[in-house]
Amino acid sequence: MPSYEFLDHPGPIPFAHRGGARGYPENSMPAFQHAVDLGYRYLETDVHATCDGVLVAFHDRTLDRVTDRSGPIARLPYSAVARARIDGAEPIPLLEDVLGSWPQARVNIDIKDEPAIAPLLRALHRTRSWHRVGITSFSTRRLIQFRARLPIYTDQRVCMTLGPRGIAALRARTAGRPLEMCTRFNQAGVGCVQLPSGLGRLPLVTEAFVQGAHAHGLPVHVWTVNDPAEMERLLDLGVDGLFTDDLEALRRVLTTRGLWPTPHPTT
C-alpha cells in the first residue's frame, strides 16, 4: 500500500467532527478554531456546491436545519447562501477558508453531492492541499468519479476512503485473499476505511473486522463517537481513529491512555 501523508500520525487519530459540533455551531470557523486550540490536528467537514459552483463547508443539502434561511444549496447562488447564518450567528465558510486558515491541519472531506466534485478539485489545486486531505463519501460512485478526475501528478498523494460497496466486500472477506484486495485498494487510491461502529443493532466495527482491515493494509476510523465508554471500547479493539463532536471527552480519553498527540509545529 502507498504511504499517505494524511495518515502519518502517531497513534489513533482524533478527528474533530464538523469542527466539534458540541458547544459551537457545526462546520463554523469558531468550531474549527476551537478544535485547533484544543490541539486537534485533524478536522472533518462536508462539502456542497452552490448553483454557481462555489464550494461551501456544510453538511446538509438544505439550509433549513442549522441556519436562519431555507432552501437547497445546489439550487441557490452563493450570494444567497452567504447571507445564511449557522445557529443564527456564524456564516457558512468556504472550504478554501478552512484549508487556508489552518495550513498545519489535515482535513477529512465528505463529498455530499456530485456537483461538488469539480469545485473540490479546483479548491485543492488552488490551495495545494492534495497531501493533507482525506476524501470520503457515502457514495462509491462519487468516490470513483473524484478519483477519475484527479490530475495524474496528484493521484498518489490524495488519500481516499473505502466506499460503501468496498466496506461490504471487506466485511464479507476480512480473512480472505489480502494480497489481491490490497492491490485493488492501491489501484483505487484507498488508504483507509471509515464507518460507524454499527447500524442499528448490527455491529460493524468488531475485533474481526479491525484485524481483517489491518491485514489488507487499511487503518480503521470510526464515526461519530461521543460516549467515552464507547471510545474506550473501540480503542481496545485497535481502531486507528475516532470522529467526535465532544472534543474534550475524546481528548481526556486519549490523554489518560497516553495517546494524545504532542503539539505539532505550526507551519
Helix, strand, or coil (residue 95): helix
Residue 21: per-residue pLDDT: 87
Residue 23: per-residue pLDDT: 87
Residue 108 burial by CB count (10 A; 0-12/13-18/19+): exposed, middle or buried?
A: buried
Residue 76: per-residue pLDDT: 98
pTM over 0.85: yes
Cell numbers placing 30: 469558531
Residue 189: per-residue pLDDT: 80
Let me know how long the chain is: 267
DSSP state of 65: T
Which residue numbers in the chain have pLDDT < 50? Answer: 265-267
Residue 266: per-residue pLDDT: 47
Report which secondary-structure segment, H or E, holds 171.
helix 164-172
Residue 267: per-residue pLDDT: 43
Catalytic positions? 17, 59
Q: Which of 15, 2, 92, 107 is nearest to 56 (CA)?
A: 92
Domain boundaries, the chain: 5-256
What does DSSP say about strands 42-49 and 106-111: parallel, antiparallel, or unpaired? parallel
Residue 155: per-residue pLDDT: 67
Domain 5-256 - what CATH class?
alpha beta
Q: Which of 146, 154, 148, 151 is nearest to 129 (CA)?
A: 154
